[in-house]
């Protein structure tokens, strides 16, 4: 859109705002939309220009497809990525080429705490919990399930 704005002699921000205004006006009742009909017309012209450009690009790919299967493959890969897109397999391994093994390491051993220290730790963990995790049951609820299980 920056190129179109430069061609029109206005800043990109102004050009984008005109498009926003034009799109909004398309949903207004006719008398109100006519008040900003130039912006509605601008939206239509831009959409036609983009469609024309897409057709030109696609036509060029079709033309090259006559002589090169890669043009067709490129188009299929991008138009239908689920069926023709490239698939990558990424293996994560150590220096010897073996898979990484991940074993959780306990942060602390609750068996070393008294009941009073454990309650304090639970309250502190709950207080320090990020807001997006507050909907999850408080730590004391999780401990009750572990102890009861």
Instruction: Indicate whether 31 belongs to any domain.
Output: yes
Are 94 and 104 in contact, with CB atoms under 8 Å apart? no
| Between 32 and 54, residue with greater pLDDT | 54
> What's the domain range around 129?
110-148
Mean pLDDT over residues 5-15, rounded? 89
Question: Is residue 78 domain-shared with residue 116, that is, in the same domain?
Answer: no
Split at pLDDT 50, 70, 90, the class of 145 is: very low
Question: Is residue 8 domain-shared with residue 60, that is, in the same domain?
Answer: yes
Mean pLDDT over residues 86-91, rounded? 76
Residue 147: the pLDDT is 45
Question: Is residue 62 domain-shared with residue 121, that is, in the same domain?
Answer: no
Instruction: Indicate whether 90 belongs to any domain.
Output: no
Question: Is residue 66 domain-shared with residue 126, that is, in the same domain?
Answer: no
Question: Is residue 42 domain-shared with residue 80, that is, in the same domain?
Answer: yes
Question: Is residue 75 domain-shared with residue 131, that is, in the same domain?
Answer: no
Beta carbons within 8 Å of 78's beta carbon, 6+ residues apart: 85
The structure's pTM equals 0.47
Mean pLDDT over residues 102-108, rounded? 71
Query: Could you give the 3-state DSSP secondary structure of residue 15?
Result: helix
Question: Is residue 80 domain-shared with residue 116, that is, in the same domain?
Answer: no
Mean pLDDT over residues 2-12, rounded? 88
Residue 148: the pLDDT is 42
Question: Is residue 11 domain-shared with residue 77, that is, in the same domain?
Answer: yes
Mean pLDDT over residues 56-76, rounded? 87
Supply angle C-alpha 34, 37, 42, rounded to 5.
160
DSSP state of 110: G
Please check the confidence at residue 137 and state whether its pLDDT lies above 60.
no
């Amino acid at each position: 859109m920056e190129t179109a704005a430069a061609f029109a002699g206005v800043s990109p921000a102004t050009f984008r705002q005109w498009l926003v205004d034009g799109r909004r006006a398309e949903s207004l009742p006719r008398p109100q939309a006519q008040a900003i009909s130039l912006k509605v017309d601008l939206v239509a012209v831009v959409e036609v220009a983009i469609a024309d450009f897409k057709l030109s690009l696609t036509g060029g790919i079709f033309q090259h497809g006559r002589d090169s299967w890669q043009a067709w493959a490129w188009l299929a890969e991008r138009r239908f990525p689920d069926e023709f897109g490239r698939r990558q397999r990424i293996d994560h391994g150590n220096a010897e080429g073996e898979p990484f093994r991940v074993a959780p390491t306990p942060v602390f051993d609750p068996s070393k705490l008294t009941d009073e220290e454990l309650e304090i730790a639970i309250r502190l963990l709950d207080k320090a919990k990020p807001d997006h995790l507050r909907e999850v049951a408080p730590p004391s609820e999780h401990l009750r399930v572990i102890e009861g299980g």
